[in-house]
Amino acid sequence: MLEKNILIAGLGLIGGSLARTIKSGHPNYHVAAYNRSQAPRDFAIQERIVDEVSDDFATLAVKADVIILNFPVQLSIQFLKILATLPLKENVLISDSGSTKLEIVTAAEEIFKDKAIRFIGGHPMAGSHKSGVIASDELLFENAYYILTTSTLSQPADVEELKEVLVNTRAKFIELTAKEHDAMTAVTSHFPHVVAASLVDNAHDFAAIMPFTENLAAGGFRDMTRIAESSPDMWTEILMSNSDHIVYQIDQFSQKLADVKQLILQRQSAEIWNFFDNARKLRAQMP
Ligand code: NAD
């Protein structure tokens, strides 16, 4: 197996987890990590997650065959701009792990338009409400979808090369355009986070009137709001990055709530039964 120099930039939950899987899947690869603060760097060396750490991004980047950026999306775009100024290896392959894809893919196509740099957007669709390298987990991505976004900066062979680097994630790789990715994840991930946070907020507001309310938050409420404990930094960024699709979902959902409200006001119990029965059948059929 060919040896490679891998640079994991950003040793948080996702960067740390990717570093673990790449190193265990390819013991002969040299896995280096950039992180600005020292504690995660020390942790990654002590835990043998990586072979080398530094706070000097440029020095690691010029030695790398594969670079994976694991920052908030806007920061990853800043790092793409830095990469464009560096004397990188000729065949370097760059990817990221951000939760939205159109912004970064568009930025990469612009930043690297006159350069022979290969870029493939990536989104491992597994995570946790925990953050930081301490929470990183080699099994985090197992059986999860790992979306790779095609662009003008990559060929099918490049995607295969990246999959081979990431083989030990044991994720299910799929290729989508950045637009497809952002539209679908708005429905299944981004908008549900808005709903979860709103449900918690709503219960808290009502507890001002009836203080015991929150004590009655049992299984259903807890299942639906677990993701409300996620990082506010990350979710603010996602809403700013994928605004159009999320606003569209809010409009669609508001209409669905308005429709149910009308059924209740009009005492249409048969229609209400159909509404729940339809959802129950659809949920049971979901892949
Ligand atoms: P994290 O908070 O655990 O790690 C973020 C990393 O960014 C850290 O290494 C931190 O040092 C670095 N960082 C932040 N600000 C910085 C700055 N100004 N300068 C230099 N470094 C800085 O976050 P994470 O969960 O690993 O998320 C990383 C990316 O992965 C995000 O784009 C997120 O959208 C995406 N993602 C997250 C999840 C999840 O559930 N956590 C799942 C899939 C994808």
CATH at residue 224: 1.10.3660.10
- Pick the last residue of a domain from 176, 196, 222: 176
Q: Residue written as tokens 């119990």? A: 269
Same domain, 61 and 119: yes
- Pick the last residue of a domain from 147, 176, 205: 176
* Nearest atom within ligand 1 for CA of residue 132: 3
Question: How much is the pLDDT for 2?
Answer: 66
Same domain, 95 and 62: yes
Q: How many CA atoms lie within 13 A of 256 on its CB side?
A: 9
Contact in structure between 19 and 8 (CB atoms under 8 Å) = yes
Same domain, 55 and 78: yes
The answer to whether the predicted template modeling score (pTM) of the entire model surpasses 0.90 is: yes
CA–centroid distance, residue 46 to ligand 1 (Å): 21
- H or E element in which residue 32 lies: strand 30-34
User: CA dist 205 to 192, 225, 241, 253, Å?
Assistant: 20, 15, 28, 21
Same domain, 27 and 143: yes
Same domain, 46 and 171: yes
Pocket of ligand 1 (CB under 6 A): 10-15, 35-37, 70-73, 75, 97-99, 123-124, 127-128, 131-132, 234
Contact in structure between 128 and 150 (CB atoms under 8 Å) = no
Same domain, 49 and 147: yes
- Pick the last residue of a domain from 176, 197, 225: 176
CA–centroid distance, residue 262 to ligand 1 (Å): 43
Report which DSSP code applies to 129. Answer: S
CATH at residue 111: 3.40.50.720
Same domain, 88 and 219: no
* pLDDT tens across the length of the chain (287 residues): 569 999 999 999 999 999 999 999 999 999 999 999 999 999 999 999 999 999 999 999 999 999 999 999 999 999 999 999 999 999 899 999 999 999 999 999 999 998 989 999 999 999 887 889 999 999 999 999 999 998 999 999 999 999 999 999 999 999 999 999 999 999 999 999 999 999 999 999 999 999 999 999 889 999 999 999 999 999 999 999 999 999 999 999 999 999 999 999 999 999 999 999 999 999 999 98
Domain limits at 25?
A: 5-176
Same domain, 163 and 195: no
CA–centroid distance, residue 132 to ligand 1 (Å): 8
CA–centroid distance, residue 11 to ligand 1 (Å): 8
Same domain, 33 and 163: yes
How many domains does the structure of the chain reveal? 2
Same domain, 241 and 141: no
Same domain, 152 and 76: yes
Same domain, 167 and 49: yes
* Nearest atom within ligand 1 for CA of residue 99: 34
